[in-house]
Structure 1
Amino acid sequence: MRPYRILYHVTALLVAFLFLAPIAIVVLASFRTPAESGQPPLPPWPIEGASIDSYVRLDGFGASLLQHTGNSLYVALGTTILTVLVSVLAGYGFSRFRFPLKPMIFVLILATIMVPFQSILTPLFLLLASLGLQNTLTGLVLIYTTLQLPFSVFMMRNAFDAVPKEIEEAARIDGVRDLRMLVYVMGPLVLPGIVTVGLFAFLNAWNEFLAALVLLTDQSKYTLPVLMTSVRSGRFGSVDWGAVQAGVTVMMIPCLILFLILQRHYIRGLTAGAVK
């Protein structure tokens, strides 16, 4: 093996270790015994044995760990499905159809990315209150979808632009029209873009904190990031490090599973339309 190949593999292993070490520390710290769980999870620490006591204490915060996890899953999955549905239709329209003021409308959609979310939080709160959706998980899904759509529409427009129009014309000759064209012909071709949009929507909705904190007032409807604030604060200012690391571990699991399963499509989706 050539020296530069050895250097390449050694460097790759070091970089992988730097990224995996914090994850390993958090997971191991969540299984520490009650006597050790009060200490900050900084290595090295003595490990006297494994215990799920941190997860038991985490379940005691709020309604229950299962309910708050269900709230987060409802919000994240709802945001993902709605974002993918709207962005695919919008991206296909901007890529393949002609209509008045099309460039201006697309620029206006992208311009909303530059608006800080914090500056429109109060109007969004008042809007949800007027619609009767304040303090509801459905209202939170609509807010997250609205915030995610500009980037998602841009991604899907690029994904559809990367598909040669000759494929679509050949399908039309075979009699494929309208929704069937989008689902059976264009859909499989832009699948990496759809996966990328869905993954971004899920991760952003799963980890978002500020909107959930402001728009939700019922403790039983809190998502996991909001629940973690009460775990983090503790009683009398103390920090239950074991419960904190258990909560972080629970929040990491869906993100890691989704990324590992969809990473190939995700990488292809990010580069779709970048080179023509």
Structure 2
Amino acid sequence: MQTSTRQGGVTAPTARGGRIRGHRVLFHITAVLVTLIFLAPIFWVVMASFRPAAVSLQPPLPPWPSDGVGVTFDNYSRLGDYGASVLHYTANSAFVAVGTALLTIVVSLLAGYGFSRYRFPFRSVVFVLILATIMIPFQSILTPLFLLLAKMGLQNTLTGLVFIYATLQLPFSVFMMKNAFDSVPKEIEEAARIDGMKGVRMLARVMMPLVTPGIVTVGLFAFLNAWNEFLAALVLLTDQSKFTLPVLMTAVRYGRYGSVDWGAVQAGVTIMMIPCLILFLILQRSYIRGLTAGAVK
């Protein structure tokens, strides 16, 4: 029979249970505070996008000033009237981000499977060289990339921007997919080979469903990086009709006499956040599983 000893009139299990409950309460309070700290800037930006530009920098806390301030869509109207309309630039960003994600997934899937399952000369050296490219600053190779795209006839095109973004994303993506394939037991492939599976069929019908979290992680990283990237789009795109949303934000930032149109900027940032938040909330479970793929066998 299990008994409990009394310590100061309180049994030891009861004291331990109280400490555990206290730790849980402290943990939840801390989690709520951290969540509010991270959500506060997002709340500020969204609320400011529906206020006049003159007061958009003021804290969006009730009661709002009474000098004509309320819910207004003027910021979105000014943003939509710029250039070829905000929907056009959103479509440009969507094309670049989706194209980058698809190209990155296809190439990293094949490369990760090859590095994980096949043996060839200098395999480890090639893999290390691919990872070493992560240490090269993107700004240092921007000029060679510009000249290379010009030689290929892809300068000032969204397709060329897709190739650039996918190339920059591949080292991390190949590393992620190799880890994902390494976490799959080889016995599964051996059983599939007995059933007649091999080559591309093996990869498509057996391995891909098992590494879906890794694919989601790679695609999500590629999409978010391409959606928010600014420098390459600013340098490589010279035609205003081909601007992406980050470049558009700098173009609409300045109002009359060099003043900053903060209302239009907040509206643009809100529009840019929506696809990223929706995509992450939908895929967050697979994303977390993909990040831990290969960590434990």
- Do the aligned residues in 2 keep the contact of 1:75 with 1:205 (CA within 8 Å)? yes
Give the counterpart letter for 1:175 in structure 2. G
Give the distance between the partners of 1:236 and 1:148, measured in 2 at CA. 40
Give the distance between the partners of 2:247 and 2:236, measured in 1 at CA. 11
TM-score when normalising by structure 1? 0.96
**Equivalence for 1:172:** 193
Q: CA deviation at 1:61?
A: 2.0
Deviations 1:159-190 (A, max 9, x none): 00010000111111111111111111110110
- Pairing partner for 1:27 from 30, 33, 46: 46
Give the counterpart letter for 1:28 in structure 2. M
TM-score when normalising by structure 2? 0.89
**Equivalence for 2:26:** 7
1:12-161 matched pairs, under 5 angstroms: 12-32=31-51, 34=52, 37-44=53-60, 46=64, 48-161=69-182
Give the distance between the partners of 1:142 and 1:153, measured in 2 at CA. 16
The structure with more radius of gyration: 2
* Residue 181 (1) aligns with residue 202 (2): yes
Q: CA deviation at 1:275?
A: 2.1
Deviations 1:99-126 (A, max 9, x none): 1111111111111111111011000000
- Do the aligned residues in 2 keep the contact of 1:26 with 1:41 (CA within 8 Å)? no
* Residue 247 (1) aligns with residue 247 (2): no
Percent of pairs with identical residues: 74
Q: CA deviation at 1:272?
A: 0.7
Secondary structure of residue in 1 paired with 2:253: helix
Secondary structure of residue in 2 paired with 1:233: coil
Structure 1 segments (4+ residues) deviating >4 Å: none
The Cα RMSD (Å) is 1.2
Deviations 1:230-263 (A, max 9, x none): 1223332111111110000000001000100000
Give the distance between the partners of 1:129 and 1:143, measured in 2 at CA. 13
Give the counterpart letter for 1:180 in structure 2. R
Deviations 1:19-78 (A, max 9, x none): 11111111111111x3xx223424155253211111000112222101000000000000
Secondary structure of residue in 2 paired with 1:232: coil
Unaligned runs of 5+ in 1: none
Secondary structure of residue in 2 paired with 1:100: coil
Count of aligned pairs = 273
Give the distance between the partners of 1:234 and 1:257, measured in 2 at CA. 31
- Pairing partner for 1:208 from 206, 218, 229: 229
Give the counterpart letter for 1:16 in structure 2. T
* Residue 231 (1) aligns with residue 252 (2): yes
Give the distance between the partners of 1:260 and 1:196, measured in 2 at CA. 13
Secondary structure of residue in 1 paired with 2:189: helix
Give the counterpart letter for 2:239 in structure 1. D
Deviations 1:202-233 (A, max 9, x none): 00000000000000000000000000001223
- Do the aligned residues in 2 keep the contact of 1:95 with 1:161 (CA within 8 Å)? yes
Unaligned runs of 5+ in 2: 1-17
Give the counterpart letter for 1:39 in structure 2. V
Give the distance between the partners of 1:139 and 1:104, measured in 2 at CA. 29
- Do the aligned residues in 1 keep the contact of 2:157 with 2:242 (CA within 8 Å)? yes
- Do the aligned residues in 1 keep the contact of 2:229 with 2:246 (CA within 8 Å)? yes
